[in-house]
């Protein structure tokens, strides 16, 4: 088969027999794909240590077999070796890969998701940003990219646009998948009041450019509010 070249991130790896491996890649060009790595040397080259040590990014040269892609060659572009020694940052990193794997589909454009992974891992390595905040930002922005973001700008019940000055009377409902005005919230049994600061932070995460996504911090009470809402979505 003709060789194809893709830029990708190793999401997971699984041994096949004694010497081979099957890896799952998130790629710009082909979406999420499975790749068979034949031979221990080639397999180890593709997933050296762990997929997190070289999270972003690698250029893979592949050829298509009967049931999967096969690895021909790989070259590393960016190392994140220091992440492997960070606790608990390394575990957050694995969680971020799992979430990307959950949403990944073959044949889709994954450029946004790959870029989000890149800036998120850089944020985990930044000692000035709380790891829990990084997780909240990543989760919500992933929902935005995947088209499953909760409604944060209009009432999920009546559709009325809600201004930030109204947040003293705003609530969040998992059942309605978004914020509710005071009138609509009366019918929501699972409503939770949302603070002005928490709503502002979530709106900022949803629409800000990637370059500015991890350039702010919040108070502990605001972070708790955002965490609780993320956990219910």
pLDDT of residue 16: 83
Residues in the chain: 233
Higher pLDDT, 94 or 139: 139
- pLDDT of 53 above 60: no
CB-based burial of residue 22 (10 Å sphere; 0-12 exposed, 13-18 middle, 19+ buried)?
middle
* Per-residue pLDDT tens digits for 105-133: 988 888 899 899 989 988 998 889 999 99
- pLDDT of 46 above 90: no
What are the φ/ψ torsions at residue 18 (nearest 5 degrees)? -85, -25
Band of residue 43 on the pLDDT scale cut at 50, 70, 90 = very low
* Per-residue pLDDT tens digits for 185-196: 988 999 998 888
């Amino acid at each position: 088969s003709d060789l194809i070249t893709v830029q990708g991130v190793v999401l997971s790896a699984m041994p096949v027999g004694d010497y081979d491996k099957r890896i799952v890649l998130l790629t710009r060009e082909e979406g999420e794909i499975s790749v068979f790595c034949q031979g221990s040397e080639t397999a180890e080259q593709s997933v050296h240590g762990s997929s997190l040590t070289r999270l972003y990014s690698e250029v893979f040269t592949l050829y298509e077999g009967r049931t999967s892609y096969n690895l021909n060659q790989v070259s590393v572009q960016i190392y994140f070796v220091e992440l492997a020694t960070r606790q608990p940052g390394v575990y957050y990193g694995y969680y971020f890969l799992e979430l990307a794997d959950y949403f990944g589909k073959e044949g889709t454009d994954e450029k946004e998701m790959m870029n989000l992974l890149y800036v998120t891992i850089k944020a985990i390595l930044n000692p000035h940003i709380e790891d829990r905040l990084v997780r909240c930002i990543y989760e919500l922005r992933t929902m935005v990219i995947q088209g499953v973001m909760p409604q944060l700008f209009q009432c999920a019940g009546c559709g009325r646009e809600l201004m930030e000055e109204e947040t003293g009377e705003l609530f969040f409902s998992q059942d309605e998948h978004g914020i509710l005005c005071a009138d609509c919230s009366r019918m929501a049994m699972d409503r939770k009041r949302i603070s002005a600061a928490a709503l502002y932070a979530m709106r900022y995460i949803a629409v800000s450019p990637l370059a500015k996504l991890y350039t702010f911090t919040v108070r502990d009470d605001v972070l708790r509010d955002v965490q609780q809402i993320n956990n219910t979505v």
